[in-house]
Amino acid sequence: MLNPLSPDTDDCQGAGPDAGFARRGAGDHPIVGLVREHDVIRLGLDAIATESLRIQRSFEVRLGFWMPALEWLELFVDRDHHAREEEVLFVWLQGAGMPMDRGPLAQVAKEHERARAVRGRMVQAVAIYDVRGLAEAAQEYSDRLRQHMEDEERLLFPLAMECLDAVALGELVIRLAGHRDQIGGAIRERADWLQRELLAGEPSGEDGGPAVP
C-alpha cells in the first residue's frame, strides 16, 4: 500500500484541485479512462480467481483457459495499460515535479515490475504443469494487482488530477492516445478478442482470434 504522499505533493506545480478535470467533466477525462480499464482488469482477475479455485480441486491445468488468460495479461495489462501509465502518465508526473526515485511514483513503478515477475511465474508454472505453483502465483498476482489499482485510484490518480491544468490535460490526452496508436491495432484487436474469451467464463480453447504479426 502506498504511503501518504506529503511532502512530495508539494512538488506538483499544477493549477490545484479540480483544475482541468472539472472543466472537461469526468466522462472523457484520461484518468477516468484508466480507472475504467482497472474495472476491466478486475473482471479478468475475477475469472482467474475462479479458475484458480477450480484447479485446486481438480489438479488440472486447463490450457484452454490459461493460455488466453496469460496472453491477455501480457498484451492488455502489461504492454498496453501498464506501459501507457509508465511511458506517459508517470513521465508526465515526473515532469510536473513528482520524484521518480521515491514516493508514490517509485512505488507504483515497482509494483508493475513485481506483477510482471509474478506473471512470469504463472507462465512457467503452466509450461511445466505445476498446478500448485500456478494456483499460488495466480493468487499472488491477483492480490498484488488489486492492491496496486486501489493505490493508484486512491492516491496517485487524484494527485495527478491536482497537477493538471487545461493545457497539461490536453497534452496528456494526446500522449495517451498516441501511445495506444503506437502499440498498434493488431495487438489491441488481439487483446480485445482474448478479453472476450476470458470474460465469457468458458473459453473455447480454440484460438480463432486475430493474430499479432
Binding region for Fe ion (CB under 5 A): 85, 152
Alpha-carbon distance 85 to 81, whole Å? Answer: 6
Residue 126 or 156 with smaller CB distance to Fe ion: 156
Q: How many C-beta atoms lie closer than 10 Å to residue 13's C-beta? A: 12
SS3 of residue 43 by DSSP:
helix
Smallest distance, Fe ion to C-beta of residue 89, A: 9
Q: How many C-beta atoms lie closer than 10 Å to residue 199's C-beta? A: 14
Quick one: CA torsion of 176, 178, 180, 184, rounded to 10 degrees? -170
Smallest distance, Fe ion to C-beta of residue 115, A: 8
Smallest distance, Fe ion to C-beta of residue 141, A: 14
Nearest by Cα to 83 from 120, 121, 109: 109
Contacts of 203-210 with C-beta under 8 Å, sequence gap 24+, read 203/64, 203/65, 203/68, 203/69, 204/64, 205/62, 205/63, 205/64, 205/65, 206/64, 207/67, 207/68, 209/68, 210/186
Smallest distance, Fe ion to C-beta of residue 196, A: 21
Residue 71 or 111 with smaller CB distance to Fe ion: 111
Residue 10 or 101 with smaller CB distance to Fe ion: 101
Residue 134 or 159 with smaller CB distance to Fe ion: 159
Smallest distance, Fe ion to C-beta of residue 137, A: 19
Residue 85 or 197 with smaller CB distance to Fe ion: 85
